[in-house]
Chains A and B, each alone.
Chain A
């Protein structure tokens, strides 16, 4: 019960202090809207919502979660308020779980706007809403954990942003968000398959238009395995780098 009180209050504090601040809410709205508008203008006559819908959901989640978590954790470490959390009698795994939960929820929130625009305005259809929900959750978790992985490495907020951009932008092309992986040069394809976001996007594609590349079960297993791996490698790095 005591651990739950600590977990809940860390989550609520993060939501109030970071995620529910107006600039972040507006980011969650404007970012997917801008991407959608850009793609709509670019491919006006051939615009197919079912093709871009999974990519926009994925990019909204990826950019939202990685930015926020990498920045908030680095910021708290810099201001030393993170020390207060490390001094609390709670397991480090629980503390990190509380920190990432806020970012995961923020990622899920970021996916709502493109879904609403796609479904309500462009009349897009969703093949399997339950799988779409699972896909969004898994993609939010994996993106958040990538953000965590980065934030453990960065000492300054600007470093966290730079490192995040270093892998986020290539992922737009490598993970099949808008460019199908089959169309990529053969020597780049292996890189796509070692990036976890590829599998998250594949789940989204399946749930929205059935356009997946890999078996759904394989996607899920790989995503869960990546989640566990990234969580524990980050915990290991935190213990090694932050508790000197």
Chain B
């Protein structure tokens, strides 16, 4: 398979702080590659280095086999970027925005007008084509931003948190659009904090935390690594998060063969490499004053792989994002 992007020992320092620490990975042509990690993990900095918005401190970036570390402008001809916040012109209409973005890539007038109309149609925005961008809903804005990023028929599309902050229906539409672009052969590099999204969309995923990549593999392979583990999910009645955290510490101290993680403030996950004897655990939780509603053995997901590999609690990751 052809490597369309290859990153070797990429590092970014801001003074004493290392945002991205010596990461290496590649993206195959035509795949959807996901970079998954909590807030501040280095996802956006990585994308920004790849697209030329941030200078790299060290390392190399290859596009289509060519070292473009010092000439990202050359790569900008065939890449598109969807930032985490829509960055089109508020005072211009959707149609004008697309035509303008086409002009930045040197598309002649007739061609960019044709492309703009095609994209507005394909993204279901024809009816609002002549409305100002500022009047668009968040979902529409995100869709138009994606359209603007592929107006020049980019080979590679970088998407930073494409479905964050938009309603469920729009997020679903955007995921469908991503799949359609993938089918047409566009290579997609996306960052997300929605693990389910990465599991549903990505061919390969890299887990990143504190500027370092801890694992890269295909989604089935990552899940398979968790298969050998036994996972039990225990749900209980509404409880303050502090109390759940306290329970978690006690469980980890009391039972040597298990590892416990918070899924959300009413659910914990118990992971073990050996068969779990559930009754003492349930009794312990019950004795701690928790009203247990359900305890079930579950099939591992990418989330479990992420938790196992990075040790990051998903609930914490979501809360950080909400704060942001």
Residues of A near any B CB (own CB < 8 A): 1-3, 5-6, 8-10, 13, 17, 79-81, 83-91, 243-244
Q: Are A91's CB and B87's CB within 8 A?
A: no
B195 at the interface (CB under 8 A from A): no
Residues of B within 8 A of A85 (CB): 104
Q: Are A87's CB and B106's CB within 8 A?
A: no
Bin the interface of chain B by size: 20 to 34
Residues of A within 8 A of B201 (CB): none
Q: Given known contacts A86-B52, A89-B77, A243-B54, is B106 in contact with A79 (CB within 8 Å)? A: no
Residues of A within 8 A of B85 (CB): 80
Q: Which residue of B lies closest to A242 (CB)?
A: B53
Q: Given known contacts A90-B104, A243-B55, is B76 in contact with A80 (CB within 8 Å)? A: no
Q: Are A243's CB and B53's CB within 8 A?
A: yes
* Between-chain CB contacts (< 8 Å), 5 pairs: A6-B103, A9-B104, A88-B105, A89-B73, A89-B77
Q: Are A84's CB and B88's CB within 8 A?
A: yes
Chain B contact residues: over half helix, strand or loop, or mixed? loop
Which residues 224-271 in B have Cβ within 8 Å of A in the complex? none
Q: Are B52's CB and A243's CB within 8 A?
A: yes
Q: Are A87's CB and B52's CB within 8 A?
A: yes
Chain A contact residues: over half helix, strand or loop, or mixed? helix
Question: How long is the Cα–Cα vector from A6 to B52 in the complex, in angstroms?
Answer: 18
Q: Are B92's CB and A13's CB within 8 A?
A: yes
Question: How long is the Cα–Cα vector from A8 to B19 in the complex, in angstroms?
Answer: 38
Q: Are B105's CB and A79's CB within 8 A?
A: no
Q: Are A87's CB and B89's CB within 8 A?
A: no
Q: Given known contacts A3-B106, A88-B105, A89-B74, is B54 in contact with A80 (CB within 8 Å)? A: no
Shortest Cβ distance from residue B141 to the other chain A in the assembled complex, whole angstroms: 12
Shortest Cβ distance from residue A128 to the other chain B in the assembled complex, whole angstroms: 39
16 more contacts with CB within 8 A, not counting A5-B106, A5-B108, are A2-B106, A17-B92, A79-B90, A80-B87, A81-B87, A81-B88, A83-B53, A83-B83, A84-B101, A85-B104, A87-B51, A87-B53, A90-B73, A243-B53, A243-B54, A243-B55
Which residues 78-124 in B have Cβ within 8 Å of A in the complex? 81, 83, 85, 87-92, 100-101, 103-108
B17 at the interface (CB under 8 A from A): no
Q: Given known contacts A2-B106, A6-B104, is B53 in contact with A86 (CB within 8 Å)? A: yes
Residues of B within 8 A of A8 (CB): 103
Q: Are B105's CB and A2's CB within 8 A?
A: yes
Question: How long is the Cα–Cα vector from A2 to B53 in the complex, in angstroms?
Answer: 21
Q: Which residue of B lies closest to A244 (CB)?
A: B54
Q: Are B87's CB and A88's CB within 8 A?
A: no
Q: Are A88's CB and B89's CB within 8 A?
A: no
Question: How long is the Cα–Cα vector from A84 to B74 in the complex, in angstroms?
Answer: 16
Report, nearest first, the 10 A-B pairs whose CB atoms are least far apart.
A2-B106, A9-B103, A88-B104, A89-B76, A80-B87, A89-B77, A5-B106, A6-B104, A81-B87, A87-B81
Q: Are B100's CB and A80's CB within 8 A?
A: no
Most chain-A CB neighbours within 10 Å: which of B54, B85, B89, B106?
B106
Q: Are B106's CB and A1's CB within 8 A?
A: yes
